[in-house]
């Protein structure tokens, strides 16, 4: 079944001399929830626009449902879309807005009514049919946009930062609902965001974009724990990146300390040693030595509730962040305390600088 599949093959877009998207290739399976994640200017919105047809690719092919749609205008692509800022028509009420994709196709009236009712029910907006956008809260407007995107039962739905304007609580709530609806309808979702947490929560796979290219692509846990580059490591959550170099089968780090690193993680001769703060264990300096350990001194202690975050100064002036669970009987280290940091070989990688 290729109906909901999406593929980009070497797609490139230039504006003048600037290459905004540089040879992006990806393949998305039907029903997959796929996220394009990246900082602003990384080319994720342009990539989405090329999928939608608002922007025509200079090179490469855009395949939707197995068909070459590279030169087809937006209205021929049959996609559902949720826009940044929702793009709700102010002169139409909720029902008319949701019905829009059907009315432009001149669907029969009865069918429109039934589909609109169904879509509104799915986003829990039944009873709001005759309201106008300005009479709705941000969350309700978001739901109208969502209902409008799914009302025509598209196989593929594009979402461009759909939750960007919502506050944190509402955003979490909507994340769950969007995920739920997409699963129920079996749609392929291509989701653009710059919020890494959102990407990790919702996606089956994430493509992290950097300067027009895909830096890394994979399931959330994989890209989070095994970043291929310091950019991906730093962009997805917190990361410690310590100056290091390869030394035989081991890694030489600050103060001449030697570390073992995860399998296949020694691609680079000179680079940065990556380790997530929550993978670092902290203990009093007196504790015994072992593999992958560094002595240090606590600089700051931030109490975050369930987690205590330490900033620990290690030899050569580098600072390592360490998140310790505030579990039963946890001991707090005060600033100035000498401590010892440990991590497992499989949790750290040597990345190119």
Partner 1 sequence: MPLKIRAAFLLLLPSLALLLALFLVPIGWFLWSSIAELGSWAEIMEEAEAVLLSGAVGGALLNTGWVGLVVTVLTLVIGYPVSYALSRARGAAFTAILLCIVLPYFTSTIVRTYAWMVLLGRNGLINQILLGLGLVSEPVNLLYNRTGVIIGMTYVLLPYMVLTLYAAMKAVDPRLMQAAEGMGASPATVFRRVFMPLTLHGVVAGVLITFILAIGFFITPALMGGPGDIMVAMLIEREVELTQNWPAAAMMTVVLLAVTLSLYAVYSRFAEPGEAVR
| Residue 315 found at the interface with partner 1 (CB under 8 A) | no
Q: Considering only residues 63, 94, 116, 152, which one is a binding residue for partner 1 as defined by CB under 8 A? A: 152
| Residue 26 found at the interface with partner 1 (CB under 8 A) | no
Nearer to partner 1, 62 or 214 (CB): 62
- Residue 282 β-bridge partners: 341
Nearer to partner 1, 101 or 220 (CB): 101
Beta-carbon neighbour count of residue 77 at 10 Å? 19
Span from 14-22, 70-78, 245-253, 345-353 in contact with partner 1 (CB under 8 A)? 70-78
Q: Considering only residues 41, 73, 138, 335, which one is a binding residue for partner 1 as defined by CB under 8 A? A: 73
| Residue 164 found at the interface with partner 1 (CB under 8 A) | no
DSSP letter (8 states) at residue 145: H
DSSP letter (8 states) at residue 251: E
Nearer to partner 1, 96 or 118 (CB): 96
Nearest to 52 by CA among 30, 19, 83, 86: 83
| Residue 132 found at the interface with partner 1 (CB under 8 A) | yes
Tokens representing residue 41 in the block: 């200017």
Q: Considering only residues 1, 56, 105, 124, which one is a binding residue for partner 1 as defined by CB under 8 A? A: 105
Query: Phi and psi dihedrals of 107, rounded to 5?
Result: -70, 155
| Residue 87 found at the interface with partner 1 (CB under 8 A) | yes
Chain positions 46 to 65 lying near partner 1, rule: CB under 8 A, are 52-54
Q: Considering only residues 17, 18, 90, 263, which one is a binding residue for partner 1 as defined by CB under 8 A? A: 90
Beta-carbon neighbour count of residue 168 at 10 Å? 9
Span from 75-83, 216-224, 258-266, 312-320 in contact with partner 1 (CB under 8 A)? 75-83
| Residue 148 found at the interface with partner 1 (CB under 8 A) | yes
Least distance in angstroms from the C-beta of 83 to partner 1: 5
- Rounded to the nearest angstrom, the gap between the alpha carbon of residue 266 and the centroid of all alpha carbons in its chain is 26
Span from 39-47, 56-64, 98-106, 290-298 in contact with partner 1 (CB under 8 A)? 98-106
Give all strands (DSSP E) within the chain, no chain letters: 6-15, 18-28, 33-37, 59-64, 67-68, 80-82, 156-160, 188-193, 205-210, 213-218, 240-247, 250-252, 258-259, 270-275, 281-284, 293-303, 307-313, 319-325, 338-342, 348-352
Q: How far apart (Å, rounded) are the C-alpha atoms in residues 323 and 188? A: 36
- Residue 346 β-bridge partners: none
Taking residues 202 to 241 in sequence order and writing x for each that binds partner 1 by CB under 8 A, - otherwise, the string is ----------------------------------------
Q: Considering only residues 79, 112, 150, 159, which one is a binding residue for partner 1 as defined by CB under 8 A? A: 79
Q: How far apart (Å, rounded) are the C-alpha atoms in residues 82 and 3? A: 20
Q: Collapsing DSSP states into helix, strand and coil, what is residue 107? A: coil
- Residue 245 β-bridge partners: 252, 270
Nearer to partner 1, 83 or 172 (CB): 83
Q: Considering only residues 108, 134, 248, 329, which one is a binding residue for partner 1 as defined by CB under 8 A? A: 134
| Residue 265 found at the interface with partner 1 (CB under 8 A) | no
Least distance in angstroms from the C-beta of 140 to partner 1: 18
Q: Considering only residues 3, 89, 238, 270, which one is a binding residue for partner 1 as defined by CB under 8 A? A: 89
Do 23 and 57 meet the contact criterion of CB atoms below 8 Å apart?
A: no
C-alpha pair distances (Å), 346 with each of 29, 279, 290, 292, 349:
30, 10, 15, 11, 8
Positions in the binding site for partner 1 (CB under 8 A):
52-54, 73-75, 78-79, 81, 83-85, 87, 89-91, 100-101, 103-105, 132, 134, 148, 152
């Amino acid at each position: 079944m290729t109906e909901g599949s999406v593929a980009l093959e070497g797609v490139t877009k230039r504006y003048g001399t600037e290459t905004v998207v540089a040879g992006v290739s990806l393949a998305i399976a039907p029903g997959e929830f796929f996220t394009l994640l990246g900082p602003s200017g990384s080319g994720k919105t342009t990539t989405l626009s090329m999928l939608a047809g608002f922007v025509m690719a200079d090179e490469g092919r855009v395949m939707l449902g197995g068909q070459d749609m590279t030169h087809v205008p937006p209205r021929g692509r049959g996609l559902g879309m949720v826009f940044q800022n929702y793009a709700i028509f102010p002169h139409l009420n909720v029902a008319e807005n949701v019905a829009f994709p059907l009315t432009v196709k001149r669907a029969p009236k009865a069918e429109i009514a039934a589909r609109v009712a169904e879509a509104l029910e799915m986003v829990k907006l039944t009873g709001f049919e005759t309201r106008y956008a300005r009479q709705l809260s941000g969350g309700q407007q978001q739901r109208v946009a969502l209902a409008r995107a799914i009302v025509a039962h598209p196989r593929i739905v594009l979402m461009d930062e759909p939750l960007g304007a919502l506050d944190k609580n509402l955003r979490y709530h909507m994340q769950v609902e969007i995920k739920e609806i997409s699963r129920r309808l079996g749609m392929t979702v291509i989701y653009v965001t710059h919020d890494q947490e959102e990407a990790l929560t919702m996606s089956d796979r994430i493509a992290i974009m950097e300067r027009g290219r895909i830096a890394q692509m994979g399931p959330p846990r994989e890209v989070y724990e095994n970043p291929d580059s310091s950019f991906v490591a730093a962009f997805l959550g917190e990361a410690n990146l310590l100056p290091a170099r390869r030394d035989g089968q081991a890694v030489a780090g600050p103060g001449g300390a030697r570390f073992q690193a995860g399998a296949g993680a020694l691609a680079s001769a000179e680079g940065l040693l990556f380790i997530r703060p929550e993978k670092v264990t902290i203990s009093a300096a007196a504790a015994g030595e072992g593999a992958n350990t560094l002595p240090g001194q606590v600089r700051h202690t931030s109490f975050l509730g369930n987690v205590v975050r330490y900033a620990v100064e290690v030899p050569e002036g580098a600072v390592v962040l360490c998140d310790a669970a505030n579990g039963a009987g946890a001991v707090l280290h005060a600033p100035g305390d000498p401590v010892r940091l440990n991590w497992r070989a499989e949790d750290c990688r040597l990345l190119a600088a």
